Amino acid sequence: MPSARLPELFLEKLRRIIPSNQWDKVLKTFAEERPTTFRINTLKTSSASLKERLEPQGFKIENVPWYKDAFILRKGRQKDLEKTGLYTRGEIYVQGLSSMVPPLVLEPQPGEIVLDLTAAPGSKTTQLAALMKNQGRLLANDNNPIRVEKLKANAALQGASAVEVLPAGDGGLVWKENFEKMDRVLLDAPCSSEGRFQLDTPSTYGYWKDDTNRKMAKDQRRLFKSAFLALKPGGTMVYSTCTFAPEENEMLLQWALETYGDALEIQDVALPLPPHTRGLAAWGDLKFHPSVVKSVRVLPTPDVEGFFVSKLGKTRQVEPPEPFLPNP
């Protein structure tokens, strides 16, 4: 059975999350190697002649039905794709399909001020820049100096001139320089990464313990506060993770609703998406606010990793949690 070496408690919890008619399919994905996937960088090129440019080089690619700029590499190796001019000129970006969902849900518009709070190495940041057509301001933050340099390099290669990479710093403090200034905020939060567990790679799940989800949720709440405080009234925020655990997803949203009351609303995700379910209505004895089910949990398939995505709106101003001197 493919689940033999995965943590038993993880599997017990997962069985309560995944619909029973999808269980066997989902379980098999932990033993499958996913193909290379990538998106076209629309700041530099288009997908119009992509197949004609790649297939003579021995590659076979397949369109992704829910995202016209995304492709699956069905024949050929990633390392060979990375030697092509398309890659070295920054005309494509290798990225997991589920990772492309949060920027699409955020729907940033040209001319807006947008924040990517945990941005490195830049896959979603550069996608946001392309969706904004490089028009507006796109602030990108990460707390790791080495990853910040990678973020800068990726933004430069992709021609993402709208990106302003902040000095490496604590995402939990970013709101102090940007209180209620952002039209949109993406928080793709550091998480337990359960959606990336691979049975033949113990390092992908060997760190997981009974309290991993609870510990991650503590950091996620702090980042969520910063993201929401940076968001303008009337603005839109996306909170996402690459994990299944309700502690890091629905329970986080429940905490946010209790913390910010009617200043926060959970909105429907109305875009085409990979296979998914709605958010859970309850977890054990804990019943969630009815709007929590508007979030989506992307189900893992042979092509797509598990993911969780929620779209949030800020309906009014909120009081900062501590005195500070905002920039003019």
Query: Tens digits of per-residue pLDDT, 264-321?
Result: 999 999 899 999 999 999 999 999 999 999 999 999 999 999 999 999 999 999 999 8
Rounded to the nearest integer, the mean pLDDT of the chain is 96
Catalytic residue numbers, as ranges:
242
State residue 270's pLDDT score: 85
Distance CA 262, CA 283 (A): 23
The pTM of this model reads 0.96
325 band by pLDDT with thresholds 50, 70 and 90: low
Mean pLDDT of 155-164: 98
* DSSP character string of 97-163: TGGGHHHHHH---TT-EEEESS-TT-HHHHHHHHHTTT-SEEEE--S-HHHHHHHHHHHHHTT-TTE
Percentage of the chain with pLDDT > 90?
A: 95
Rounded-to-10 torsion of CA 228, 231, 236, 241 = -40
Query: Tens digits of per-residue pLDDT, 36-80?
Result: 999 999 999 999 989 999 999 999 999 999 999 999 999 999 999
Q: Which domains does the chain have, with CATH numbers?
A: 8-33+97-314 (3.40.50.150), 35-95 (3.30.70.1170)
| 231, two tokens | 């968001």
Mean pLDDT of 322-328: 65
State residue 1's pLDDT score: 44
State residue 321's pLDDT score: 85
